[in-house]
Structure 1
Amino acid sequence: MEVRIKLFARNGTKLTEPEQIGEYSSHASSSISCDRLNLRHLKEFDKKAKTNFNLDVGFETWIPKEPEDYCNDLREIQQWALAANGDTSSTAKEALGGADLVCVRGALTTIAVTPYNVDAGWRMVAVRVRGVIYLHDCATRDGTRFAKASGRLAHLMYWGFKFEQYLTTDAENNGDTSSPIDCRETFHAVFKTNLVRRGRETQLRLVYTAEMDAVDQSNRYVELKTMGEKMGDKFWQYKAHKWWMQATLSGIDRIVIGHRNPSSGVVTKLANMGTAQLSSNRKTDVMMTFLSTVLSEVEERLPEGEDYGSVQIRYDPEEERVYFEQAREQDTNLWIDEFRKLI
């Protein structure tokens, strides 16, 4: 599949409003609990006030996720399905809210933004078992940045976590900003939405998890982001559409931005931005059409009548093409032992 913007510049494809069907807290022990224990709460702030948040504070003591935590991005949604449904579901499809396709939000975002991120390669594997397609991002197995970040990249990742700590309190209204940040303790929501596809009568039912930054005083989810001091052309060219996609998949309409000094990592001011401001209709249409095209091709290559099937989806940035290939067996073992009884 050739990736050229003009090939996907048409409207008619959209996502229905995401519906939250579950939530859970992730823990350092690689377990989850179906609660809001790790949900952060946004502090009230005056957007006109100047700030002096040093995002490098505590960098030496933070606890990032281990590489193996990225190896199976579907582990936690399986844990949630088991914990939330107990013995009431007889099949995986029932436990997963009737999904046609299950994944994490990041996989959908990675695919959707490809026409505007043509230099970033990716590889995923889709496995269909009894009516459900499990879409897995192979990022860590391919040695990408998330598992072994170092140098400036590690600082950039940390800055985002530290910014969240400055702006939020925990479940007990504790606003401590000196404790080490543990990236293994997070909060996630489980969403269900339908991909309404141009020219197709059937909709694709998606169920996915998303790590959520915080809720505001109205108990609505908000995204927390940092960026350079000015929202210049580079932001609108390389970041805005990705932020829009992430927020849209989570039904988020408000993003709190910390404008930071590019070299020192000090946040000097805060601002609110509405999700709708982030993307032009043209980019939105391209991303939705491209996402629909890729997922529909996956669906067609994994016929519903077959009990089992798999396919690798790979984007080659040098050729600017997406390839659909035979999946490697070592990439298709996606299920935890407890979940196997449902599939």
Structure 2
Amino acid sequence: MSLCKIPISSLVDLEIDPTFVDDIFIDEKRKVTIGRETHLYLPRNYFEKLCQREGIQVKFNLNIGFDKFINAPMSHGIDHILDYLIKKAEQVGEKDLKKVIQGADIVCARGCLLKLAHSPYKHKESWKFGVEKFNDVLFIRQLDTEEEKRAAEKPKNPGSTKYIYWGHKFKSCVFTENGKASLLQILI
């Protein structure tokens, strides 16, 4: 997840010029870590070299732990950003919110922006947002609509929840903190 700020000059002449702010990594325990340098991405051909050198096949069982997986509700997106803002303020020793968010006027999860951007083209899809203004900054959180609440009560397609989990599990296999063994290295 990356944070960006978009300065808005005027509503008539909207010029979007996003500025990179930070990288955020959220682990399986939903702990927020700031910065890309604290995590390592395995090189693209890591598996090929390993398999050729060791004569083994790398197989991930992405189902391990699925029985304990809890898919976070939609509202958790902003919670991670709020955790980030608190950590960032401590990291830079700054108490002024505007300085911590580098002058941005709006703070929200990427999903909120996507939903808002798609809304003119998706006439049958409803949405609901909560907006709170704090220190001249708008915090936007996507809320569940009545339709989404009813859908959540229905039995879920087991495949879709599993796909979400597999994505998290695969990331935990290939990402690791610097200086620590990755799950892949432990398994091999």
User: What TM-score bracket applies, with the shorter chain setting the length?
Assistant: 0.5 to 0.7
CA deviation after TM superposition for structure 1 residue 66, in Å: 4.8
Please list every run of 5 or more consecutive structure 1 residues that lacks an aligned counterpart in the other structure: 1-11, 47-54, 179-343
> 1:34 & 1:95 partners in 2: Cα distance?
13
CA deviation after TM superposition for structure 1 residue 35, in Å: 4.7
Q: Select the structure that is richer in helix.
A: 2
Given the alignment of the two structures, is residue 82 of structure 1 paired with residue 83 of structure 2, yes or no?
no
Q: Select the structure that is richer in strand.
A: 1
Distance of aligned partners of 1:128 and 1:163 in 2 relative to their CA distance in 1, 3 Å threshold: closer
CA deviation after TM superposition for structure 1 residue 22, in Å: 1.9
Alignment root-mean-square deviation, CA:
4.0
Given the alignment of the two structures, is residue 33 of structure 1 paired with residue 22 of structure 2, yes or no?
no
Please list every run of 5 or more consecutive structure 2 residues that lacks an aligned counterpart in the other structure: 1-12, 49-59
- Structure 2: which amino acid aligns with 1:15? I
CA deviation after TM superposition for structure 1 residue 94, in Å: 1.7
Moved over 6 A (4+): none
- The higher-RCO structure (CA 8 Å, 6+ apart) is 1
Given the alignment of the two structures, is residue 15 of structure 1 paired with residue 16 of structure 2, yes or no?
yes
SS of the residue corresponding to residue 82 of structure 2 reads helix
- Structure 1: which amino acid aligns with 2:140? L
* Preserved CA contact (<8 Å) 1:103 1:135: yes
TM-score by length of 2: 0.59
The equivalences for 1:1-343 within 5 A come to 13-16=14-17, 18-36=18-36, 40-41=41-42, 43-44=44-45, 58=63, 61=66, 63-67=68-72, 70-86=74-90, 88-139=93-144, 143=149, 150-152=155-157, 154-159=158-163, 161-162=165-166, 165=170, 169-171=174-176, 172=181, 174-175=183-184
- Structure 2: which amino acid aligns with 1:79? D
> 1:124 & 1:133 partners in 2: Cα distance?
12
Distance of aligned partners of 1:41 and 1:82 in 2 relative to their CA distance in 1, 3 Å threshold: same
TM-score by length of 1: 0.36
* Number of residue pairs matched by the alignment: 154
> 2:166 & 2:154 partners in 1: Cα distance?
16
User: CA offsets per residue over residues 53-100 of structure 1, 9 Å max, x none?
Assistant: xx9962882544455x54353222222122122172232222222110
CA deviation after TM superposition for structure 1 residue 160, in Å: 5.0
* Preserved CA contact (<8 Å) 2:105 2:137: yes
